[in-house]
Amino acid sequence: MKKDIVAKGAILQRDRETYAIAPHIPGGITTTEELRKICDVADKYGIKELKLTSAQRIALFGIREEDLDDIWSELDQQPGAAIGLCVRSVRICPGTTWCKRGVQDSVSLGLKIDAIYHAMQLPNKMKMGVSGCMVSCAETAVKDIGVMGTPKGWRIMVGGNAGARPRLGDLLVDNVPGEEEVLAIIARIIELYRNWPQEQRLGRIIEEIGIERFRHEVLGTGE
């Protein structure tokens, strides 16, 4: 019986025969050239349906297994980490790059986070989001690690998730002054998580030990 092919970023579809792939498009920010290439490859291989995903990618459906290698080679892009125990996605809102409400540069920070963490193997799946203001279009509160711009800097929330048992993230720290400080805190969270003895989602760990102890483990304060 066919299965997902994780190494090729190929997800078996409902027909149990064909696959979907979704190239990695950091922050969903792309160019006409990249889009044309995706469309050209889709036309060449008879891919009739494409879908914009919640992870800010473009999924291509109905792919034959024997075409996967050629399609990836022609796309010349990396697979988005849509499956497996890893950092699945870093959702990024337009922030101060384009949005009139933005108060922080979510695109700059988000792309740095994406470059470091996208597809990193972890004990369980992890989603991240970076919003440029408190309207929170990157759904910061339901990300395992969510970052939100405020007039005073960055707010970091941890342990959020959607899914069958949704959970709102806990406030880890507020008024983080700059990108470097945010990246250092995220690095510490990831280091803790990678070494955690159980393989559960970040929010379950926080439920178990409490946000105060988690904050203490990450920041050395709050307990």
Q: Which residues bind ligand SF4 (CB under 6 A)?
A: 93-95, 99, 101-102, 106, 131-133, 135-137
Judge whether 59 and 75 are in contact, CB under 8 Å: no
What's the closest the beta carbon of residue 202 comes to ligand SF4, in angstroms? 22
132: nearest Cα among 120, 122, 140, 124: 140
For ligand SF4, the closer of residues 79 and 94 by Cβ is: 94
For ligand SF4, the closer of residues 112 and 215 by Cβ is: 112
What's the closest the beta carbon of residue 176 comes to ligand SF4, in angstroms? 17
For ligand SF4, the closer of residues 101 and 204 by Cβ is: 101
Tokens at 151, concatenated: 């007039």
CA separation for the pair 214, 221 (Å, rounded): 10
What's the closest the beta carbon of residue 135 comes to ligand SF4, in angstroms? 4
Q: How many CA atoms lie within 13 A of 213 on its CB side?
A: 6
CA separation for the pair 105, 137 (Å, rounded): 13
Pairing mode, strands 19-21 and 58-63:
antiparallel
94: nearest Cα among 51, 133, 143, 55: 133
For ligand SF4, the closer of residues 63 and 137 by Cβ is: 137
Tokens at 53, concatenated: 């995903």
CA separation for the pair 106, 94 (Å, rounded): 7
Q: Which residue has the tokens 């990396």?
A: 78
In sequence order, the 6+-apart residues with CB closer than 8 A to the CB of 143 are: 91, 127, 128, 129, 157, 160, 161, 169
For ligand SF4, the closer of residues 59 and 99 by Cβ is: 99
What's the closest the beta carbon of residue 216 comes to ligand SF4, in angstroms? 30
For ligand SF4, the closer of residues 126 and 137 by Cβ is: 137
What's the closest the beta carbon of residue 151 comes to ligand SF4, in angstroms? 12
What's the closest the beta carbon of residue 156 comes to ligand SF4, in angstroms? 15
